[in-house]
Amino acid sequence: MLTYATGVAGLIALGQVPGGAKDPTPALRANPFTLGVSSGDPRQDGVVLWTRLATEPLADDGMGGMPSVPVPVRWEVAEDDGMRRVVRKGVFTARPELSHAVHVEVNGLRPGREYWYRFTVGDETSRTGRTKTAPDPRWATEVSFAYASCQAWDAGFYTAYRDMAAQDLDLIGHLGDYIYENAIGATGGQRRTPLSAAHNAPTMTLSQYRLRYALVNTDPDLQAARAVAPWFFAVDDHDVEDNWGSDRSPMGGPPENFLRRRAAAFRAYFENQPLRPSTLPTGPDMSLYQSIGYGRLATFHVLDERQFRSPANVTARLDPSRSMLGERQASWLLDSMGRSRSEWNIMANQVMMFQLDRLTDPGLQQLNPDTWDGYAAERDRLWAGITRRKVANPVVITGDAHVNCAAELKADFADPESPAVGVEFLGTSITSGGDGTDTSAGGQEWLAANPHLKFFNNQRGYIRCRVAKDTMRADYVVVDKVTTPGGTASVRKSFVVESGRPALQDA
């Protein structure tokens, strides 16, 4: 497995050299750009451009109907949406070993600037995508971004992405559960779309994961959102298997069996997202955590809360030896935040960080061991380290929970009078959980039992934020329905956080 991964890494590097133009273009049966285009991992001088060739995106073998030969893909980057002022171009060889995925690292661009891009194979040209480089580190440029999570394809329609695509965003984040590993029946769940029998099984193999990504990425609203701004990504449990952690499946069994599944999931994840070639997984291991700087105002610290965590065990939540991040990542995070000179430090986090007691009885606690409540000792260490380093304006953004919440993070959750050290904006799902309701009995119990929790909502949608020098604003965008098409998006609630004051205020 390691030898194969090393060989594939070499193929990616070779794919970007001009020699790729010598490969003949095979005759294709249809337009190969059925999975759309996307950009990601923005830096001040460049971005990553992505597409994956598939003439038959839902071919059962996961290979998208493509021939098993290299395909030269021409790419262009321009300063205008008409693609007249081309500033970078080249040829990338899309290879069958990586299901004809294209990952082009474009450098030499100008900071804080819009660009447009497209791909061509033979006489077929992709849609034109828009991207944007990160601002110069010296600039106090306001940043507009959005983030989402949890988009079970069969649970409903991606209506929220249609609204997101219409916004003027600098950056979009996905915080996990981009796919779900469950079997999908012949009627396509709430989509009521006929599917072949290949979808009606849990994803276990590389071809199954490839097919699931193809199914998700054919959605037109998701394609529109992926084409309007650069993205960053985090992996959560359903991207591999529900509630997995480290080298363990929650279903038990030999670790080597689960690691084979994780290796397949990570390969398909890499092939289908605009990630840098350097993140190509080596077997079941993948480099996922990183920092992305956005001028003087914001740094995004993107976390990996699955690969290195100790097994879930709520009775051992106070054990100081247990870790969510692992020693190396935890040290990196504190060092990265300590070095940051940004006005706002945003932790892109997969699972709920604030303490959530799900019962109102003051003599009992019901905590979820899969969240940071199962790793309370490390959570205390993390925030003590953040406070000690005097990190400016730490803000946590989160997915996973299928509800909207806003909370103030306490130095000591056992003491309601303890000072707040940060805030958390937890965003709901895109589809998972169905239409939902504005509130619920459980949500009202959460608010009553957790005084640091300031907002609860049980609809679907995403969060849109604007970061300025003195304030950060978060808009909770919800849609009225997802189980049928044609839903309407609206802002349900908005909060503002002032610089130097970790408290939630109504906007």
Q: What is the pLDDT of residues 117-174, one digit of tens each?
A: 999 999 999 999 999 999 999 999 999 999 999 999 999 999 999 999 999 999 999 9
> What's residue 364's pLDDT?
66
| CATH code, residues 1-133 | 2.60.40.380
Model pLDDT for residues 300-353, shown as the tens digit of each residue: 999 999 999 999 887 899 999 999 999 999 999 999 999 999 999 999 999 999
The residue ranking higher by pLDDT, 243 or 11, is 243
Whether residue 6 has pLDDT greater than 50: no
Q: Is 366 left (phi over 0), alpha (psi -120 to 50) or beta?
A: beta
Across the chain, mean pLDDT equals 94
> What's residue 335's pLDDT?
98
Arithmetic mean of pLDDT, 103-122? 98
- What are the structure tokens assigned to 280, written together? 């190509």
Q: What is the pTM of this model?
A: 0.95
Arithmetic mean of pLDDT, 248-274? 96
Helix residue ranges per DSSP H, 114-156: none
Whether residue 231 has pLDDT greater than 60: yes
Whether residue 19 has pLDDT greater than 70: no
> What's residue 496's pLDDT?
98
Whether residue 12 has pLDDT greater than 60: no
- Which residues neighbour 142 within 8 Å (Cβ) at sequence distance 6 or greater? 297, 466, 467, 468, 469
Percent of the residues in the chain that have a pLDDT greater than 90, as a whole number = 92
What is the 8-class DSSP label of residue 311?
P
> What's residue 88's pLDDT?
98
Rounded CA Rg of the chain:
22
Model pLDDT for residues 376-429, shown as the tens digit of each residue: 999 999 999 999 999 999 999 999 999 999 999 999 998 888 999 999 999 999
* Band of pLDDT at residue 16, cut at 50, 70 and 90: low
134-272+282-506: CATH topology: Purple Acid Phosphatase; chain A, domain 2 (3.60.21)
* Band of pLDDT at residue 23, cut at 50, 70 and 90: confident
> What's residue 2's pLDDT?
42
- Which residues neighbour 218 within 8 Å (Cβ) at sequence distance 6 or greater? 34, 35, 57, 58
- Which residues neighbour 294 within 8 Å (Cβ) at sequence distance 6 or greater? 134, 135, 141, 143, 170, 171, 300, 342, 467
Residues of the chain with CATH 2.60.40.380: 1-133
Whether residue 280 has pLDDT greater than 90: yes
> What's residue 20's pLDDT?
47
What is the 8-class DSSP label of residue 52?
E
Whether residue 499 has pLDDT greater than 80: yes
48: buried, middle or exposed (CB in 10 Å: 19+, 13-18, 0-12)?
buried
Whether residue 467 has pLDDT greater than 50: yes
Residues of the chain with CATH 3.60.21.70: 134-272+282-506
